[in-house]
């Protein structure tokens, strides 16, 4: 939850209501957090680089990503033991990033494209009948290119990566993972084997890194999953899905997890979902996040004509708060303040919290990141990054929260 504190400077009182509104618009996709996430357990070492997920024939099916074997792994949902290994014998795993299905086929997305240079993007289609009858199958190949990609130069992490797709009628919908823009573009392509051009059917900005998606035709609900640059996973929900405007009505929810590289997502019934995380580690500061399986619930959407509510009883008088004159004293709220030292013209920040701070970001009023620090973060310090005169927002990432406050540079 974002918390805002008005900041007062010597000789200057700034009312931030209008710019806070602007900032809230840039994060308007962040709504209530998912509080029902449960960890099922750690995945076997053989699938530490899990990247896609479907639920079929009573088990989960996953795969590893780039450079690993061209194998599908079937998992028991309770023990997480690998029940089967099915090899796709006529293709390689260049960068398998997603898996989806329809009634007849399983589709594997070999379209990971971190630096944007690939000209061999493909989806591999295997028959479910073949999958059930053999541990060694062959795939038909759906080759494709994006209609609007003209530049295939390696400029580092690109906006042409993709890690998510799903089926709708006779089409596959591919969602890109934009490393630079932190958005996603939706493209549709035929399910028929052959060479195709993927056509653009929607786009969204400033959501994070999208890594998988699942679509339910009965509820007409699309759910996607991804994570922020600080490995905080989220889900995005689109009710009343429109194939011609894929992200219309999109709403985003935090999964209230930290340092979790969410990768594969699948739906098991009308309200239940599984997702996997890939193994992640870093040296400074030392962080290790195992590859795991999680579950969460999304309630069914309300009908258009709900039952008439019963006449409510007269409400009881609410209890008075313990500290009505100073409600903040009754809540152990983490407080972030920023002030200017007039003698040095430095801007100091301080946060009153017992929690670990593991990231800092400064945004301008348009929501653009102007500075990021993901190293060891002190709870009191000086903002050393040079900032032009304007209004900014400092965001601190805590173990289980995000705290933001605005400040003016003048």
Q: What is the pLDDT of residue 324?
A: 43
CA-only gyration radius of the chain, Å: 24
Q: What is the pLDDT of residue 316?
A: 52
pLDDT > 90? residue 253: yes
Q: What is the pLDDT of residue 308?
A: 53
The topology (CATH level 3) of 35-297 is Tachylectin-2; Chain A (2.115.10)
Q: What is the pLDDT of residue 272?
A: 95
The topology (CATH level 3) of 8-26+334-409 is Immunoglobulin-like (2.60.40)
* Range from 195-209, 304-318, 351-365, 386-400 carrying the lowest mean pLDDT: 304-318
pLDDT > 80? residue 274: yes
CA angle 150, 205, 198 (to 5 degrees): 40
Structure tokens at 147: 């209609």
Task: For residue 56, name the pLDDT band (cuts at 50, 70, 90).
Answer: very high
Whole-angstrom distance, CA of residue 213 vs CA of residue 166: 6
Whole-angstrom distance, CA of residue 295 vs CA of residue 14: 45
Q: What would the mean pLDDT of 58-74 be, rounded to a whole number?
A: 97
Parse the chain into domains and list their residue ranges: 8-26+334-409, 35-297
Between 25 and 71, where is the model more confident?
Answer: 71
Q: What is the pTM of this model?
A: 0.71
Residues 6+ apart with CB under 8 A from 269: none
């Amino acid at each position: 939850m974002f918390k805002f504190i008005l900041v007062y400077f010597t000789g200057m009182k700034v009312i931030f209501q209008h710019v806070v509104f602007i900032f809230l618009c840039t994060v308007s996709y962040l709504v209530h957090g998912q509080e029902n996430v449960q960890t099922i357990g750690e995945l076997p070492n053989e699938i530490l680089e899990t990247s896609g997920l479907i639920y079929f024939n009573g088990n989960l099916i996953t795969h590893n990503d780039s450079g690993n074997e061209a194998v599908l792994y079937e998992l028991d949902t309770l023990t997480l033991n690998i029940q089967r290994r099915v090899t796709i014998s006529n293709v390689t795993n260049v960068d398998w990033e997603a898996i989806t299905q329809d009634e007849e086929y399983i589709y594997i997305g070999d379209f990971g494209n971190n630096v944007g240079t690939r000209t061999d993007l493909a989806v591999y289609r295997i028959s479910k009948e073949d999958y059930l009858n053999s541990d060694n199958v062959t795939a038909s190949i759906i080759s494709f290119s994006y209609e609007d990609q003209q530049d295939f130069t390696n400029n580092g992490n690109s906006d042409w990566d993709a890690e998510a797709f799903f089926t709708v009628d006779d089409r596959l919908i591919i969602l890109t993972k934009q490393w630079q823009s932190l958005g996603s573009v939706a493209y549709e392509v035929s399910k028929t084997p052959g060479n195709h051009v993927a056509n653009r059917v929607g786009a969204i900005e400033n959501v994070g890194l999208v890594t998988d998606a699942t679509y339910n035709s009965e509820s007409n609900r699309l759910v996607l999953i991804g994570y922020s640059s600080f490995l905080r996973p989220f889900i995005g929900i689109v009710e009343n899905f429109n194939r011609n405007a894929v992200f219309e009505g999109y709403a985003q929810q935090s999964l209230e997890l930290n340092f979790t590289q969410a990768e594969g997502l699948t739906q098991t019934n009308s309200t239940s979902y599984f997702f996997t995380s890939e193994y992640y580690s870093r040296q400074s500061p030392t962080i290790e996040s195992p590859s795991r399986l999680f579950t969460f619930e999304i309630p069914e959407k309300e009908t258009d004509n709900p039952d008439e509510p019963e006449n409510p009883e007269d409400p009881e008088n609410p209890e008075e708060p313990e500290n009505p004159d100073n409600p903040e004293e009754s809540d152990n709220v983490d407080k972030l303040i920023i002030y200017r030292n007039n003698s040095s013209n430095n801007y100091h920040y301080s946060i009153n919290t017992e929690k670990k701070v593991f990231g800092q970001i400064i945004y301008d009023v348009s929501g653009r990141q102007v500075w990021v620090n993901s190293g060891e973060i002190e709870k009191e310090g000086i903002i050393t990054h040079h900032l032009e005169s304007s209004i900014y927002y400092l965001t601190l990432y805590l173990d289980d929260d995000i705290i933001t406050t605005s400040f003016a540079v003048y």
